[in-house]
Amino acid sequence: MRLEAVELRRVRLPFHVPFRSALAETSVREVVLVRVVTDAGEGWGECAALSHPDYTSEYVDGAAAVLRSHLVPLLARAGPPSATGVAPALAGIRGHRMAKAALEMAVLDAELRAEGRSLAARLGATRTWVEAGVAVGIPTSVAELLDDVGAALDEGYRRVKLKIAPGWDVEPVRAVRERFGDGVLLQADANGAYRLDDAAALAALDPFHLALLEQPLPPGDLVGHAELGRRVRTPVCLDESVTSADSAATAVALGAASVVNVKPGRVGGYLEAVRVHDVCRAAGVGVWCGGMFESGLARSANLALAALPGFTLPGDVSPPSRYLAADLVAPPVARDGRLAVPDRPGIGADVDAGALRRATVSVERVALAP
């Protein structure tokens, strides 16, 4: 397979409800798409980076810049592209895992389309459907929270993840559990908002039988997570702390995680995500597939990952139509909280030309090294 061109495309997809991050509120999901053109066909990748560097150090403008100036030229100089060769070709650039993942995804899509093979088959999926959960943000009141959770359950979802933060934890979790009972699989996600000194406050969540407590402490505090795991009964799940199979192995060895949230962009791509899965499965640590407000393009690919045998909990793989008012592909459809795993060649979704045109802000073709 010969690389003939690489295109970077900026798109904007409107949210149903504005998204509030630590730095800003936005009504659109900005995305960098990568399109690779080879002599065997094309492939698409989607960068998971958000508009601002508050979830991780990566952000949309930075991802576009490193792809343009460093990652694409390196890949072009490495010779005929292959999915397994992307990570080694880009290894000289530190970090920028989400940008690397987008480029790998595009090459993987092109390669699999040329082979007539699905991503699910390539990754080793063992199921034809996966169960999805939904995440509920921090609303303005407990009453609004109960309405949001009730709406999700009415749609057929059986797992609900509640965002928590100091001052918004025990009471909202208690209210949800009392209203909807123990039959609902509940998770709590802190996005690193607590410190080990808050262990008593987090232990106060134990009576509510949560499936897991996601990323309670800052990402770098693996030792703190291990100690917290000894102070609470709720299983501790790591998200932002795990950026590779090596970091997953370290976290497991320290006893810092009972569960791991795997996000392909955060760990550098789908092939590394499989390695994270393998490390955790071998250690008896459960994994599940997280989400980054993807379009249907990446969300379809995430379904293939979530169908691997070690993914034992419902993932954040619900249809993008829950949060996006427009999409780039025909989105996956949930039935009773379950979604079919795409079995078509490539990553499982075809870009709609009209939707792409309407969402596009800019397009640039990156110069390849001679």
| Band of pLDDT at residue 370, cut at 50, 70 and 90 | low
180 and 53 fall within a common domain: no
Alpha-carbon distance values, 323 to 265, 314, 328 (Å): 19, 18, 14
Average pLDDT score, the chain = 96
Q: What is the CATH number of the domain that holds 360?
A: 3.30.390.10
Question: Distance (Å, rounded) from C-alpha 254 to C-alpha 223?
Answer: 7
* pLDDT at position 22: 65
Residue 347 within a domain: no
91 and 157 in a single domain? The answer is no
For residue 258, the model assigns a pLDDT of 97
Residue 278 pLDDT more than 70?
A: yes
The yes-or-no verdict on residue 20 having pLDDT over 80 is no
| Known catalytic membership, residue 163 | yes
Catalytic site residue 263? yes
As a whole number, mean pLDDT of residues 198-217 equals: 98
Distance between CA atoms of 337 and 317, rounded to whole angstroms? 10
The whole-number average pLDDT for the span 90-98 is 97
Asked whether residue 87 is domain-assigned, the answer is yes
pLDDT in tens, 24-68: 788 999 999 999 999 999 999 999 999 999 888 999 999 999 999
Task: Extract the tokens encoding 268.
Answer: 């550098």
Residue 76 pLDDT level (bands cut at 50, 70, 90): very high
d(CA 320, CA 315): 13
Domain housing 175? 121-340
| Residue of 161, 263, 266, 299 with catalytic role | 263
Please provide the size of the chain in residues: 370
Query: Could you tell me the CA-to-CA distances from 243 to 31, 74, 101 in Å, in that order?
Result: 21, 22, 12
Answer yes or no: is 265 within a domain: yes
Band the pLDDT of 331: cuts 50, 70, 90: confident
Write out pLDDT tens, residues 229-267.
999 999 999 999 999 999 999 999 999 999 999 999 999
pTM above 0.75, yes or no: yes
Same domain, 46 and 60: yes
For 122-178, what is each residue's pLDDT tens digit? 999 999 999 999 999 999 999 999 999 999 999 999 999 999 999 999 999 999 999
Tell me, yes or no, whether 39 and 186 share the same domain.
no
Q: Does 23 score more than 80 pLDDT?
A: no
Write down the catalytic residue from 35, 163, 266, 299: 163
Question: Does residue 357 sit in helix, strand or coil?
Answer: helix
Give the chain's domain count.
2
**CATH number of the domain encompassing residue 231:** 3.20.20.120
| 93/156 same-domain check | no
Q: Which amino acid is at 148?
A: D
8 Å CB contact between 327 and 355:
yes
Residue 294 scores a pLDDT above 90:
yes
Q: Name the pairing type of β-strands 129-131 and 41-46.
A: unpaired
Sheet holding 134-136: strands in order across? 134-136, 159-163, 185-189, 212-214, 236-238, 259-262, 286-289
**Does residue 166 sit in the same domain as residue 106?**
no
Whether 180 maps to a domain, the answer reads yes
- Model pLDDT, residue 158: 92
DSSP one-letter code for 244:
S
Identify whether residues 193 and 271 lie together within a single domain: yes
Residue 346 inside a domain? The answer is no
In a domain, 345, yes or no: no
